[in-house]
Amino acid sequence: MLDVEVLRNFLIKAKKKGYAAGSDVKAASDVMVTKDENGTTIYFSQGDWRYEDNYCGGEPFGGTERVFYKGKQVWRMSYHGRVLDPSDKEIVYPFLKRMLSFIMPEKPFRGPGLYLVGDMHYNNTSVGDIEDFFGNEKILICGREIYRAVYIGGVVDI
């Protein structure tokens, strides 16, 4: 039987070392990044656990995060999103990476429920828990929505 708390702790560590780490992701010795015709994939391993985040596109983008235990996939999340106005891209992605680094242990899917920084707001609404969930996230600046994404996932084949 899968220990959900061990999965949760590994997932939090992996996500903080992955995309949310920004440019630091390439400097980490326990993280590998590859780019090919299937997009970019970030790998993180620790003991019997392995995390992969594969994403592609730009506007819009899509991706899949997977967790393996002893070579068997045990958790998966798919996501899709976009910056609504391409001129906001330079504002959105650094802010999004920062928000994703504030992952919440009780819902380790994306960022916190609500986070405010000056005129920028990050809002993440989800239903469910690590075993079965779906949600959406938005970024607003001065009340104007500039980014949105949806996600869904949970444990698989356990």
Domain definitions of the chain by residue range? 4-155
Average confidence (pLDDT) over 47-76: 93
Q: Compute the average pLDDT of residues 136-158.
A: 94
CA distances, 139 to each of 60, 122, 147 (Å): 15, 5, 5
Lowest mean pLDDT among 26-30, 60-64, 69-73, 98-102: 26-30
| Inter-CA distances, 30 with 10, 42, 80, Å | 13, 11, 27
Tens-digit pLDDT profile for residues 22-56: 655 555 556 777 778 878 888 999 999 999 999 88
Percentage of the chain exceeding pLDDT 70: 92
